[in-house]
Structure 1
Amino acid sequence: MSNYPRTMKALVAYSPTDYRFEKAYPSPECGDDDIIIKVEGCGICAGDVKCQHGAAMFWGDDIQPSWVRPPFIPGHEFLGFVVEMGKNVKGYEIGDRLTADQIVPCGECRFCKSGQYWMCQPHGMHGFHKEFNGGMAEYVRYTKNAILHKVPKDLSLDKALLIEPYACSKHAVDRAKIQCEDIVVISGAGTLGLGMVTYAAMKNPKALISLDMVDDRLAKAKAFGATHVFNPGKMDVIAEIMKMTDNYGCDIYIEATGHPSSVIQGLSAIRKLGTFVEFSVFSGPTTVDWSIIGDRKELDILGSHLSPYCFPFVIDGITKNTLKTDGMIKTTFKLEEWEKAYEYATGKHGDFKIAFIP
């Protein structure tokens, strides 16, 4: 007999227009190589919101095929306690507190075999594929290839829920290769942007500039280590950046808003031979003059995807408070309230991170 019930509460995505709260959805079954956790909490990512709004990146359009595999349970920013383990599982115990990388690598493709598992070709992901259901439910199955991490049991839930997003933030900042003489701009001061700020501050750049349209978010960025905060809705931030840099432009621009205007702004604010890191998920296409990237400035344009090899550092940093987390989660919801939770996750009520506590 299992240590958990056969049915559970869950939010289930059947199509971009059909998300349902289910009171008695089948609980995951534990195979010989699996671990079942009872979910302690699950954050809502901007990607979750854009997926629920039907963004083409997830559901496909005339250009790109559908990427999600419904019916699936959303949520990849989750953690919980082990309640069941298959007979082949070693190294874990009932009661362990676990979280996992968002990706579930196949272990067989060229990327997995070269250690670049976060770019796994099949690209199974918690919270978007029915084979790897996410944390907006009472129970989750970790399969054999899940990349698991133990979470200290005395770490408060509001901090622990930031592990996955902060790990993504760390990877984006690592891609930029910040040096102490760099003037760095991080555009966007939501949860991910603030995770970038608190980590980038540890690199001691010459200046660390946070941009956002919301002053409360800029205040948090300042508290997390930004040396300068600018609101593009209230000032000419490109002019300010030029003023700070003898009219050359910033050395590094990290885009963490997912809004086309931030991309265009960055291409104007960055110096020749600068580094532009694109992190965000966009809900629609962005049009820019590519000659700025090439013939005009010879920029290094870098992408950033997921959080490879970042979890141990982030868990340690959040536990020791070297990565700041204060006040990031103030509103939580039950799964039954998912529509309200998703609305709050847009940030329109002033929240940084919204989470479900099943």
Structure 2
Amino acid sequence: MSTTTPAPEAAAQSGLPETMEAVVCHGPENYTLERVPVPVPGPGEMLMKVEAVGVCASDLKCYHGAAKFWGDENRPAWAQKEITPGHEFAGIIIRADDEATAHHGVDVGDRVTCEQIVPCGQCRYCVRGEYWMCGPHDMFGFRNYHGGMAEYLVVPKIARPHRISKDLPAHHAAFAEPLSCSLHAVERAGITFDDIVVIAGCGPIGLGMVAGARAKAALTVVALDMSDDKLALARKCGADVTINVGKQDAVQLIKDMTDGYGADVYIEGTGHPSAVGQGLNLLRKLGRYVEYSVFGSDVTVDWSIISDDKELDVRGAHLGPHCWPAAIKMLEAGILPMNEICTDQFLLKDFQAALDLVADTAGASVKVSILPGRTPE
């Protein structure tokens, strides 16, 4: 596994620096920037020079301890100590043997971004083609594989890399991961031409959901948020209607739009418990609810709304399987206002400031990124 690092001499012999800077997770609110040996790829593996890594809300929740950590009493765990975080990354392949390039269809010098999951290929889910639900569920930046908050990263043979244009700014290229997740949530909704679709949340994931719903040619795409600035950005991503839930009654407005029936589809992308009940209440009977978020606390709702009242379809969405080519195509085509979505970039040494900015939910930031390859000006 890629949690181990070789002796510094191995890196030196390959022409690489002996050490690099990397963020290391030692537990909740205990992340440190350290000098560690540069990893050396084994047979069938590739070495990436990381250009950019996005900071995700799940990174923040893990940092603050909402995740369960290996080594703690609570199990099962989905995060591991001594791992470098960061699962939304893009970079240049600088080392790879013939086995790796043939297997992945990637050449040295290509820019790639990788799916978050590192599927085992052997469990029931992988064998059935459902690799994103892999049983062991190893993930870059969380379990068994170091993530992108470092100068270099090993791409294992069982990873799922995708080439992406070098013409994009690196932090835009790294947005392929959250965008693919957004598109998968949209796919799970089964949107049709006559649907009124409501997207809750206009953060990075929600904005991608808005763009995805618009690409599906839904009749009306409605975006909900508490920030007027983010709602304006949602319109640029394809929303027809925006509602500030801090100032307006979203449930009533949606019912007014639909002759009292309610929306056909609700996709939850806020991670706030109140958004769950909101969605159940604004959907019509036989509507479709899609839950994407990772919650930091328990959620309680009246389940009779799902069953006896409305007979809703409630679906989960996890990661971005099969949506990466579409996400990359959207980014390369310039469909999204990426300069406005990617609001803040930090040096690797300032990773803590990046995490703190993501935590500032009242702030104006949308997508926060770290650029490990950039040096202070």
Matched, 1:20 2:20: no
Task: Report the TM-score, using the length of structure 1 for normalisation.
Answer: 0.96
Aligned equivalent of 1:83, options 91, 94, 113: 94
Residue of structure 1 equivalent to 2:10: none
Relative to structure 1, the CA distance from residue 298 to residue 15 in structure 2 (aligned partners, 3 Å threshold; closer, same or farther) is: same
SS in 2 for 1:103: coil
Please give the alpha-carbon distance, in whole angstroms, between the structure 2 residues aligned to 1:221 and 1:294: 32
SS in 2 for 1:280: coil
Aligned equivalent of 2:106, options 68, 92, 99: 92
Please give the alpha-carbon distance, in whole angstroms, between the structure 2 residues aligned to 1:221 and 1:55: 28
Residue of structure 2 equivalent to 1:259: 272
Matched, 1:225 2:238: yes
Matched, 1:122 2:133: no
Please give the alpha-carbon distance, in whole angstroms, between the structure 2 residues aligned to 1:291 and 1:303: 18
* 8 A contact 2:54–2:171 mirrored in 1: no
Deviation at 1:59, TM superposition (A): 6.7
Aligned equivalent of 2:160, options 140, 147, 151: 147
| Residue-by-residue CA offset, 1:182-229 (whole Å, 9 max, x unaligned) | 110000000000011112111221211000011100000011110100
Query: Structure 1: which amino acid aligns with 2:23?
Result: L
Relative to structure 1, the CA distance from residue 323 to residue 329 in structure 2 (aligned partners, 3 Å threshold; closer, same or farther) is: closer
| Residue-by-residue CA offset, 1:7-36 (whole Å, 9 max, x unaligned) | 1101110111321111x1122221112101
Matched, 1:356 2:370: yes
**Unaligned residue ranges in structure 2 (runs of 5+):** 1-12, 373-377
Matched, 1:30 2:41: yes
- 5 Å-filtered alignment, 1:1-358, equals 1-22=13-34, 24-56=35-67, 64-86=75-97, 88-89=99-100, 90=102, 91-129=105-143, 131-346=144-359, 347-358=361-372
Deviation at 1:58, TM superposition (A): 5.6
Deviation at 1:83, TM superposition (A): 1.4
SS in 1 for 2:106: coil
Query: Structure 1: which amino acid aligns with 2:28?
Result: P
* 8 A contact 1:60–1:67 mirrored in 2: no
Please give the alpha-carbon distance, in whole angstroms, between the structure 2 residues aligned to 1:55 and 1:184: 30
Deviation at 1:338, TM superposition (A): 1.4
Deviation at 1:48, TM superposition (A): 0.2
Query: Structure 2: which amino acid aligns with 1:319?
Result: E
Please give the alpha-carbon distance, in whole angstroms, between the structure 2 residues aligned to 1:60 and 1:321: 44
Deviation at 1:62, TM superposition (A): 8.0
User: % of aligned pairs identical?
Assistant: 46
Deviation at 1:56, TM superposition (A): 3.9
Relative to structure 1, the CA distance from residue 64 to residue 277 in structure 2 (aligned partners, 3 Å threshold; closer, same or farther) is: farther
SS in 2 for 1:25: strand
| Residue-by-residue CA offset, 1:17-67 (whole Å, 9 max, x unaligned) | 321111x11222211121010000100001001100100456798875322
* 8 A contact 1:51–1:59 mirrored in 2: no
SS in 1 for 2:306: helix
* 8 A contact 1:3–1:84 mirrored in 2: no
Q: Which moved more, 1:317-326 or 1:69-78?
A: 317-326
Deviation at 1:324, TM superposition (A): 4.5
RMSD across aligned positions (CA): 1.6
Please give the alpha-carbon distance, in whole angstroms, between the structure 1 residues aligned to 2:362 and 2:17: 37
* 8 A contact 1:330–1:354 mirrored in 2: yes
Task: Report the TM-score, using the length of structure 2 for normalisation.
Answer: 0.91
**Unaligned residue ranges in structure 1 (runs of 5+):** none
SS in 2 for 1:154: coil
